[in-house]
Structure 1
Amino acid sequence: MKTHKVEETSSAASLEGHSALTFGAQNSLLIEHKAVRRNILLLLMLAAVSIAFLGMGSLIMSPWHVLEALFGQGSELNQFIIKSLRMERLLAAIFTGAAFSLAGCLMQTLARNRLATPGIIGIDNAAMAFAVSSIVSTGVSMAPSGMALVGAATATALAFGLSGGSGTRGYRFIVAGIGIGAIAGSITQLMLSQVNVDTANAAYPWTVGSLNARATDMVYLLGAGLLLSLIACLALSRRFALLPFSDQVITGLGEQIKKIRVAALSISVLLTGLAVAVAGPVGLVALVGPELARAMSGYRGIPLIGSALAGAFIMVLADLVGRTLLSPIELPVGIVTSIVGAPYLIWILVRHTPRN
């Protein structure tokens, strides 16, 4: 009886600060209270900056007027501006930021390296190159969006192949991805240099990252893909939590490491391709978003939901700054995020040695 009580006490202590949701006989989801509080804070931050986003522009509205318009109240002019002109761009910013950041979190976990984001290893540039090639050859249509997905998958396959037996582990995968990104960027510039000015201008937003070039259908397709990816991440969260461990440990726990890696990488490529299809390659959101999610609470696990919320917050804030800082001149969101994210990348390189 004493042993049984000790085991019960130990089990209760191990779950302190957590809640378990059980689905069926064998499936359960362990929820950390600290992570929930962090995510609620990030959600409130996102809501605040979203209201500011909807209220700022050529016609400035107070937060109260924004809320009125969202609920179908207030003047018809305010409702038209909020719902027809600004809401779609806000949704594009939220979806793309969340997608880039969640993809970055998964990629960092796979490679066990804080620098291993889709942008760093060339997935963004490859998706951009394929999208630009479709614009140069076929004109602006739904084709660039589909080609961006093809480019993201192609870059990932090439990085896998060039990294040899190391897969997503170690520096070879990152170095291979950097080389692929450099080549893809060069090809993009070569294509743009060979076309007329009008065609180059049509493709320009894809090269810097801009929410002006968004296609309505792709925004909602990205939203659907993001929702499905979040559900998949929650369902696989226990398995993804094993990725930082060695292959021997994961195998010893009865899990199939290859299937877990393929699932995480597939979600990352899908999210990156869809996000680039909407906004082009937006620099360093995938790097800064997961770091912000971790830094806010010192969370040592894999902050999947937190990364998505942090990325959405960063993207909305960056686009708001780009629209209003030098108004009426508008800065593409990709330039704003690069200006903020590049010093942070340098700081990581100087202060920390990435883990192999």
Structure 2
Amino acid sequence: MPDKRNALVNSLLLALLMISTLTSLSTGTVQVSLADTLAALLGQADPMTDFVINELRLNRVVAGLLCGAALALAGCLMQTLARNRLATPGIIGIDNAATAFAVASVVGIGLSLAPSAMALAGAATATALAFGLAGAKGTRGYRFIVAGIGIGAIAAAITQVMLSRVAIDDANAAYPWTVGSLNARNPESVKVLAAGLALGYLVLMAITRALNTLQFADAVAIALGTRLKATRILGLGLSVLLTGLAVSVCGPVGLVSLLAPELARALSRPGKIPLTASALAGASFLVVADLLGRSLFSPLEVPAGIISAIVGSPYLLWILLRPTPRSLT
């Protein structure tokens, strides 16, 4: 039987996403009406409007949509696997490690792989280290989170050391990966992210039932026919893939992976992992954060990563200070 509440939530979040996208495309130093924006997207606008929408803004907005969705899905997955609201890629250090590796490829320290490949390598390295340091508990418990926080701090320090030892031009080229920015993103990296996100989402839809059983005790999940080890390994791998590809495009905007799943979980029916709702919420959140960063202090631009941190940090503190955090379900 269809879940009417989740369908309604997804429809509302999709509508919000469309509004956010069109607003971001039409807003900037050059204001474009909604009608002209739609005409440009359909290839029916004048050359100037077409240039502003399709050449200057569209790739940036698409990058925000894809990065937000990927980070939110990765956060929802990691929270489900760890059964902990704090277990997101940004908090356990995956973002920072992916950023460090991506920066290493940009500043030219002998690692010539593309930022996408390097970011994936960094995300995988951080996950493996955190998993190993957590010991027998794997992704469960606070030991995994504490290990990840330590790894993230080390990765952030390494990034700063690399930036301090290279020429100013190289440091400026790598700067967007340290703060989280959608400005002038590489179209090829965006295409790779789009392919990875599509693949990851299809796989997640195929294993949704198994992921839902992870909310129960292991014995119950096994009794329901879930292959726990395979599901956890696949989920962890998808989280690394999505995080690495997203960071290779926009840098560390980690709090998206915390806020978007929380919003989706609050709106959706309890007992289900809100994967689609998380992706839609994450995409909207990052597009709006980028829009605010471009608009609030124009002509100065505040990176989307800083805007998301300003919005998300108080909520993170609220989670930490609550005496009895509510269940993920």
- The structural deviation recorded for 1:142 is 6.0
Of the three residues 81, 84, 101, the one matched with 2:55 is 84
Question: Which whole-Å deviations, capped at 9, do the CAs of 1:281-313 have from their partners, x for residues lacking one?
Answer: 013000000011122345442100000000000
CA distance in 1, matches of 2:205, 2:172: 41
Alpha-carbon contact 1:152-1:273 (below 8 Å) kept: yes
205-214 or 282-291, larger mean C-alpha shift:
205-214
1:98 paired with 2:98, answer: no
Match for residue 5 of structure 1?
Answer: none
After superposition, where does 1:16-95 map in structure 2 within 5 Å?
Answer: 18-19=1-2, 32-95=3-66
Match for residue 80 of structure 2?
Answer: 109
Question: Which whole-Å deviations, capped at 9, do the CAs of 1:208-249 have from their partners, x for residues lacking one?
Answer: 011125211010110111111111111110011011112212
Match for residue 177 of structure 2?
Answer: 206
- The structural deviation recorded for 1:353 is 3.8
SS in 1 for 2:226: coil
Of the three residues 288, 298, 319, the one matched with 2:290 is 319
CA distance in 2, matches of 1:273, 1:53: 25
1:203/1:255 CA distance change after superposition, 3 Å: same
Alpha-carbon contact 1:205-1:213 (below 8 Å) kept: no
SS in 2 for 1:212: coil
TM-score, length-scaled by structure 2? 0.95
Of the three residues 311, 315, 318, the one matched with 1:340 is 311
Bigger-Rg structure (1/2): 1
Residue 278 of structure 1 aligns with an amino acid whose one-letter code is: V
Alpha-carbon contact 1:206-1:213 (below 8 Å) kept: no
1:276/1:35 CA distance change after superposition, 3 Å: same
- The structural deviation recorded for 1:123 is 0.2
SS in 2 for 1:73: coil
CA distance in 1, matches of 2:98, 2:303: 18
1:190 paired with 2:161, answer: yes
Match for residue 179 of structure 1?
Answer: 150
Q: Which runs of 5+ in 2 are unaligned?
A: none
Residue 138 of structure 2 aligns with an amino acid whose one-letter code is: G
SS in 1 for 2:183: helix
Residue 140 of structure 2 aligns with an amino acid whose one-letter code is: R
Residue 190 of structure 2 aligns with an amino acid whose one-letter code is: V
Percent identity between matched residues is 58
CA distance in 2, matches of 1:137, 1:70: 38
Match for residue 260 of structure 1?
Answer: 231
Q: Which runs of 5+ in 1 are unaligned?
A: 1-17, 20-31
Residue 25 of structure 2 aligns with an amino acid whose one-letter code is: L
SS in 1 for 2:221: helix
CA distance in 2, matches of 1:303, 1:297: 7
| Root-mean-square deviation over aligned CA pairs | 1.7
SS in 1 for 2:88: coil
1:250/1:295 CA distance change after superposition, 3 Å: closer
1:166 paired with 2:150, answer: no
CA distance in 1, matches of 2:191, 2:249: 10
Match for residue 13 of structure 1?
Answer: none
1:83/1:213 CA distance change after superposition, 3 Å: closer
Match for residue 239 of structure 1?
Answer: 210
TM-score, length-scaled by structure 1? 0.88
After superposition, where does 1:248-327 map in structure 2 within 5 Å?
Answer: 248-297=219-268, 299-327=270-298
CA distance in 2, matches of 1:297, 1:163: 31
103-112 or 81-90, larger mean C-alpha shift:
81-90
Residue 191 of structure 2 aligns with an amino acid whose one-letter code is: Y
CA distance in 1, matches of 2:81, 2:184: 31
Alpha-carbon contact 1:69-1:78 (below 8 Å) kept: yes
CA distance in 1, matches of 2:263, 2:234: 24
- The structural deviation recorded for 1:97 is 0.2
CA distance in 2, matches of 1:84, 1:202: 21
CA distance in 1, matches of 2:323, 2:260: 18
1:118/1:305 CA distance change after superposition, 3 Å: same
CA distance in 2, matches of 1:265, 1:283: 17
1:218 paired with 2:222, answer: no
Equivalent residue pairs, number? 327
Residue 65 of structure 2 aligns with an amino acid whose one-letter code is: I
